[in-house]
Amino acid sequence: MDIGTRLFRTALLGLAGNRAARALSERYGMKLGASRFVAGETMEEAIAQAKRLNAEGIAVTLDFLGESVSSLEEAQVSERSYKELIRMISHEGINGNVSLKPTQFGLALDRKACEEGIRAVVNEAAGHGLFVRLDMEDSPWTDATIQIVQMLQDEGFSNVGTVIQAYLYRSGRDVQAMTANKMNLRLVKGAYKESRRIAFESKQEVDDNMRRLIKARLDSGIYTAIATHDQRIIRWVQSYTRMRAIPRSKFEFQMLYGIRNPLQRSLAREGYKVRSYVPFGRSWYPYFVRRLAERPANVMFVVKSVVWR
Ligand code: FDA
């Protein structure tokens, strides 16, 4: 990553955590181009998009946007909303599951309350035969997120898994331990600002580690979601799984709503399992800013959509 891109990314990721900027943006609704990456502000809008994607052979994981809540009341709203979402997915016959963020359930405020809220959601999902993915947030929450998922698995829930980020040095060890425990994992490159003390900085190193982690998981035969828009990695996975005769039932590709749509469709047509991560809700600001930080060209897209509105 060149110095200009690194500074740009750092500045934007700083903005993602800025509460004033967040409040201001969210007050003005789904403008500023956010609708390219966010399915809508309501559950009904998200379900409509999920149906459209399902009709194209693409499964979904629905994310009721929210993170870093500042009160336990807000965490309870998250719990109620996710339970309602799960009932709606089941009632509407959507081919999908849900993704949630532990800080949306109060991880930063009260660990026990957070665990109870997430357990209630996982339990509700189990009753409907649905899966719950705990997204991985920034590094202060890595250990706790892994521990919560492990705790739920030890309690007998088989419908829960989490995410491992290839940019963290620790991830090789985490993948090894969680594969030994047969944990369902999503592998990603990583979307937050992390220090070089704990994370690879160069794209090449992150990509290399992503391939190492994917290979370890594919070789293990434990179900893995490979979440990337990187065509070189996707092509490599296709040829590696062909060469090793790894069945397509052992992995899926995941991409974000609104990104690389033709690639999502073409992989689904080729018979791969593809899942689109569909975020919705009013708290779209930090999610949106992380998408801008991933690709400088997205900022130009936003500028144009504001100017031409
Ligand atoms: P990379 O950044 O190298 O991009 C490869 C190519 O994809 C780019 O050249 C561009 O063409 C396209 N692309 C990538 N990002 C784009 C964007 N925002 N807009 C337009 N085009 C783009 N992270 C995390 O820390 N915790 C998590 O729980 C998750 N969860 C998650 C779920 C799913 C389904 C996906 C796809 C991703 C995540 N992520 C995540 C985000 C992830 O860590 C990473 O930041 C993004 O996926 C971008 O990295 P790529 O692997 O796409 O590669």
* Alpha carbons 137 and 158: distance in angstroms, whole number: 22
CA nearest ligand 1 atom 7, residue: 229
Residue 229 Cα to ligand 1 middle (Å): 6
Residues within 6 Å of ligand 1 by CB: 135-136, 163, 165, 188-192, 227-230, 254-256, 259, 277, 291, 294-295, 298
Number of residues that make up the chain: 309
Tens of pLDDT, residues 6-18 = 777 777 777 677 7
pLDDT band at 305 (very low <50, low <70, confident <90, very high): low
pLDDT the model gives residue 29: 59
Cα(189) to centroid of ligand 1, in Å?
7
CB neighbours of 125 closer than 8 A, spacing ≥ 6?
Answer: 86, 97, 98, 131, 132, 159
Compute, in angstroms, the gap from residue 20 CA to the centroid of ligand 1: 26
What pLDDT, on a 0 to 100 scale, did the predictor assign at position 208? 98
Residue 31 has pLDDT above 70, yes or no: no
Query: Which pair of structure tokens corresponds to residue 86?
Result: 């799960």
Q: Where are the domains of the chain?
A: 38-283
Q: How confident is the model at residue 309 (pLDDT cuts 50, 70, 90)?
A: very low
Is the pLDDT reported for residue 303 higher than 70?
A: no
State the Cα–Cα distance between residues 298 and 50, nearest whole angstrom. Answer: 24
**Catalytic position from the list 9, 22, 186, 275:** 186
**Is 186 among the residues known to form the active site?**
yes
Give the helix/strand (H/E) hosting 100. Answer: strand 96-100
pLDDT per residue over 112-159, tens digit each?
A: 999 999 999 999 999 999 999 999 999 999 999 999 999 999 999 999
ipTM of the complex: 0.98
The pLDDT value recorded for residue 304 is 64
> What pLDDT, on a 0 to 100 scale, did the predictor assign at position 67?
79
Choose between 67 and 26: higher pLDDT: 67
List the structure tokens of 133: 């993915």
Inform me whether the pLDDT recorded for 255 exceeds 70: yes
63 an active-site residue?
Answer: no
Residue 26 pLDDT grade (very low, low, confident, very high; cuts 50, 70, 90): low
Q: Judging by DSSP bridges, how do beta strands 251-256 and 59-64 pair with one another?
A: unpaired
The answer to whether residues 244 and 215 touch, using CB atoms and an 8 Å cutoff, is no
Region of 277 on the Ramachandran plot (φ > 0 left; ψ -120 to 50 alpha; else beta): beta
Higher pLDDT, 255 or 30: 255
- With a pLDDT cut of 90, the percent of the chain lying above it is 78
Q: Which atom of ligand 1 is nearest to the CA of 254?
A: 34
Please report the atom of ligand 1 found closest to the CA of residue 255: 36
Please state, in angstroms and rounded to a whole number, the distance separating the CA atoms of residues 31 and 139. 30
pLDDT surpassing 50 at residue 52: yes
Q: What is the mean pLDDT of the chain?
A: 92
What is the predicted pLDDT for the residue at 283? 85
Mean pLDDT of all residues in 36-48: 95
192 CA closest ligand 1 atom index: 25
Is the pLDDT at 306 greater than 60? The verdict is no
For atom 15 of ligand 1, the residue with the nearest CA is: 294
Q: Domain 38-283, what fold?
A: TIM Barrel (3.20.20)
Exposed e or buried b per residue across 234-270, where buried means at least 16 C-beta atoms within 10 angstroms of its C-beta:
bebbeeebeeeeeeeeebbbbbbbbbbeeebeebbee
- Secondary structure class of 42 (helix, strand, coil): coil
Binding residues for substrate, as ranges, are: 101, 290-291
Alpha helices by DSSP H, the chain: 3-16, 19-27, 43-55, 72-91, 111-127, 142-154, 171-180, 203-220, 231-243, 261-269, 285-294, 296-307
What pLDDT is recorded for position 30? 61
Three-class DSSP category at 51: helix
Tell me: pLDDT of 49 over 80: yes
Atom 3, ligand 1: residue with shortest CA distance: 230
How do residues 161-210 score in pLDDT, each as one tens digit? 999 999 999 999 999 999 999 999 999 999 999 999 999 999 999 999 99
Is residue 48 scored above 70 in pLDDT? yes
Q: What is the pLDDT of residue 298?
A: 77
